[in-house]
């Protein structure tokens, strides 16, 4: 089949299945199969029968709402490419805003800032910080052993200090000495199960999604750990759901030990992450 016909058929199948961006996903899957840049797909050779069959299989799997990144094995995050798949949370574009904040905050602090990424998952934020701010001393922690395996691969050679452990008692050796703490913790309330996209609900690890009845259990832990780790004047940034623009910062405000507590929007203008400064 011709490339144009394959793409048209795949786009329609994905659209019928409710995939949010059927045309883009169809192109990215064909890019993966043909190993041709997406921009050059329509100018290249038509696929062989074997390639067409492989493409058809991937489109069928995507139509069942298997994550695109699981099918290609890759997620792009700011300027880094990450290995992802079953067993690790697939980083979302919204989190790039949180990583960007952490990079800018670290750059403004000291010549060789100490940055800690809590709940690192695939290592996305830690990898971005290390990539864009080579002078930083970056540390990351993850409790899920399956996710740690991906983080080890993604952070290999980056200089990031990756540890396998619970956030609650992580990095005691860094207490009072960290310049920036950043986290993308689980924050979905258990009661919101049915409203979560199938790609996340059925394929991302439960540890990376659910966080108690109100979705704030992990953020409460992050508040305590960040205060322990940061030096006076150090800053923290924590991602949250777009419906937690008041409740998530409220966790920090209620403790009475943070200044400049505020919420920040993502590129779509939705509440996305809180920031605060240790007093």
Tens digits of residue pLDDT in 75-126: 999 999 999 999 999 999 999 999 999 999 999 999 999 999 999 999 999 9
Kindly report the number of other CB atoms within 10 A of residue 42's CB atom: 13
> Average pLDDT for residues 155-182, to the nearest whole number?
98
Q: Where are the domains of the chain?
A: 3-64, 75-278
> Average pLDDT for residues 209-219, to the nearest whole number?
95
| Dihedral angle computed from the Cα positions of residues 61, 241, 152 and 146, in that order, rounded to the nearest 10 degrees | -60
Q: Which residues are annotated binding-site positions for substrate?
A: 184-187
Q: Give the pLDDT of residue 179.
A: 98
Q: Give the pLDDT of residue 190.
A: 86
Poorest-pLDDT segment among 9-18, 42-51, 67-76: 42-51
Confidence of residue 226 (pLDDT cuts 50, 70, 90): very high
The chain-wide mean pLDDT, for the chain, equals 96
User: Are 275 and 226 in contact, with CB atoms under 8 Å apart?
Assistant: no
Please compute Rg for the chain using Cα positions: 20
Q: Give the pLDDT of residue 194.
A: 79
256: left (phi over 0), alpha (psi -120 to 50) or beta: left
Residue 1 has pLDDT above 80, yes or no: no
Q: Give the pLDDT of residue 46.
A: 87
Tell which residue, 108, 129, 107, 10, has the closest CA to residue 63: 10
> Average pLDDT for residues 186-212, to the nearest whole number?
90
Q: Using CA atoms, how far apart are residues 167 and 171, in angstroms rounded to an integer?
A: 8
Tell me yes or no: is domain 75-278 CATH 2.60.40.10.
no
Q: Which residues are annotated binding-site positions for S-adenosyl-L-methionine?
A: 142, 184
Q: Which residues are annotated binding-site positions?
A: 142, 184-187
Residue whose entry in the numeric block shows the structure tokens 């300027």:
79
């Amino acid at each position: 089949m011709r490339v144009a016909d394959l793409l048209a058929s795949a786009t329609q199948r994905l659209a019928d299945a409710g995939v949010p961006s059927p045309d883009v996903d169809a192109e990215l899957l064909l890019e993966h199969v043909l190993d041709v840049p997406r921009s050059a797909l329509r100018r290249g050779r038509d696929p062989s029968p074997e390639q067409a069959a492989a493409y058809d299989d991937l489109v069928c799997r995507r139509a069942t709402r298997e994550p695109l990144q699981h099918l290609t094995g890759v997620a792009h995050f700011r300027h880094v490419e990450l290995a992802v798949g079953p067993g690790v949370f697939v980083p979302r574009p919204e989190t790039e805003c949180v990583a960007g904040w952490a990079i800018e905050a670290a750059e403004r602090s000291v010549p060789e800032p100490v940055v800690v990424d809590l709940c690192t998952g695939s290592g996305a934020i830690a990898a971005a910080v290390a990539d864009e701010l080579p002078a930083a001393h970056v540390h990351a922690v993850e409790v899920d052993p399956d996710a740690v395996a991906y983080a080890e691969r993604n952070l290999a050679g980056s200089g990031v200090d990756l540890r396998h452990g619970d956030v609650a008692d992580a990095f005691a050796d860094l207490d009072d000495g960290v310049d920036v703490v950043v986290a993308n913790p689980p924050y979905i309330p258990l009661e919101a199960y049915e409203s979560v996209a199938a790609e996340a609900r059925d394929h991302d690890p439960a540890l990376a999604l659910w966080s108690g009845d109100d979705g704030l259990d992990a953020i409460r832990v992050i508040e305590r750990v960040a205060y322990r780790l940061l030096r006076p004047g150090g800053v923290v940034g924590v991602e949250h759901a777009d419906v937690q623009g008041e409740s998530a910062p409220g966790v920090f405000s209620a403790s009475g030990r943070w200044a400049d507590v505020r919420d920040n929007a993502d590129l779509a203008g939705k509440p996305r992450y809180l920031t605060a400064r240790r007093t």
